[in-house]
A and B are shown apart, each in its own frame.
Chain A
């Protein structure tokens, strides 16, 4: 039996619903840290950034599932919905901390969304994820039909790129970590495009 078969066999025993229980734990842990000084002397920014970064990491994990299967045969497909919903959960918490604890003022929130490109872009990424979260159930797949459903869920890609761009833009100067994330996301998306390019190249031959 190959390694991928062994791994897939073991994963079959892990129920996907476990993620809905384990997934939010870091959020509560960050909140606890923020309340007890564990996020440093500026816990509002600390919590906001920790939640956003965790959401971005989960997004990378979601995007890695298809290439992982393609290149290693290991399939995590059954966890993808739960992981995707966790991305939404973390980014929603990130947004909530920004609204309630950080900016604190409705007028200013609106002004920031309109005037600050990195916030506009972050907000857009979040808005793109709303239909994804809403349709992440079997009923929606049936209702929309698999083709339409897939089309909607293509929005994951622009949401991921915009999320990473938001991170690149918010730091001072060209710092490396945000660029790593953007780079990884672009590479993961490129693994999906290559197949098409090969097909185009084959057709042109």
Chain B
């Protein structure tokens, strides 16, 4: 794919976590001075560079993005995550990277992010429930991480898991889904430059209800593929389990690419409604691969997308 930034950093180049934190504290301190001591939470705004992959559409307001979420770990209601996610501890956070990789291990999140150029990626987001948003994510390409840990040639898929911590995630106290929430991508999908690991939105740290501290964003697939609050990434050689696909395979395929011509058994996928339009919002046509057809259709050449939905 054209223009993807290839990094030549080694793990020895990674800034130790403590030093990294010190820097952030220095930056935050400098910011506070610059603001002239305005009282408020010590937000550490994240430095980002723009991306050619960003949509030119008008992003949804932060209040919309953070008030209407599906994150069943915090409850099934759309408002539950905003109400309950504050309980989640996101620091310290580590991600276990294992399976068919050269450098498996339990990585501290700070180490994973150190030295990574954060981009602003304004993506369209299409939920399988036929609503959509436009979200200015902060993140970096998943491929960057996979390159750094060294994907072995036998790896064919990438598997992800969300944190299991019922004491902080009240939705997990009941087996509505089989916890942990899990998702997977084919390796070529995972290596696609549109697939990112996001750590923030609107230039700030990820709100907890949106999947803090680190989540996947795969904009050409239905939202549930973009797994939140990731604690494990495994490289595997067989198609991994994916939560909704396990629960109702007839309704949720492994691929779950946005496709207006393949309906969900219980509702049409031909149109969607962008959140935030009020009581008289018009529906808009859903685009093939959520508008990323040009970039990703090559991944599925020759595949019957009504069978592999």
Contact = CB atoms under 8 A, between A and B. Distances in A.
Central interface residue in A43, A47, A171, by most chain B CB within 10 Å: A43
A40 B78 contact: yes
Given A42-B68, A44-B281, A173-B177, 10 more contacts: A40-B68, A43-B279, A44-B279, A101-B279, A108-B268, A108-B271, A112-B267, A115-B263, A116-B265, A173-B247
Interface of A: 34-35, 40-45, 47, 101, 103-105, 108, 111-112, 115-118, 169-176
B23 interface: no
B280 interface: yes
A43 B268 contact: no
A41 B76 contact: no
A128 B271 CA distance: 30
B268 A101 contact: no
B279 A169 contact: no
A143 to B, nearest CB: 41
Contacts of B9: none
Contacts of B281: 44
A118 B266 contact: yes
B276 interface: yes
A41 B276 contact: yes
Central interface residue in A44, A101, A112, A175, by most chain B CB within 10 Å: A44
Interface in B192-214: none
Contact of B283 (A34, A104, A116): A104
Contacts of B276: 41
B279 A40 contact: no
B222 to A, nearest CB: 12
Interface bracket on B:
20 to 34
**Secondary structure dominating the interface of A:** helix
Nearest to B281: A44
B76 A171 contact: yes
Interface string B175-193: 0110000000000000000
Interface in B140-192: 174, 176-177
B266 A41 contact: no
A123 to B, nearest CB: 14
Given A35-B279, A40-B78, A175 B68 contact: no
20 contacts: A35-B279, A40-B67, A41-B275, A42-B68, A101-B279, A105-B283, A108-B268, A112-B268, A115-B263, A116-B265, A116-B266, A116-B267, A117-B266, A118-B266, A172-B129, A173-B76, A173-B247, A173-B248, A175-B76, A175-B176
B177 A41 contact: no
Contacts of A103: 283
A111 B266 CA distance: 11
A103 B248 CA distance: 25
Contacts of B267: 112, 116
Interface string B247-288: 110000000000000010111101101011011111100000
Contacts of A111: 268
B283 A41 contact: no
A143 B43 CA distance: 73
Contacts of A175: 76, 176
Sorted from nearest, which 4 A-B pairs have the closest CB atoms? A41-B64, A43-B279, A34-B279, A41-B68
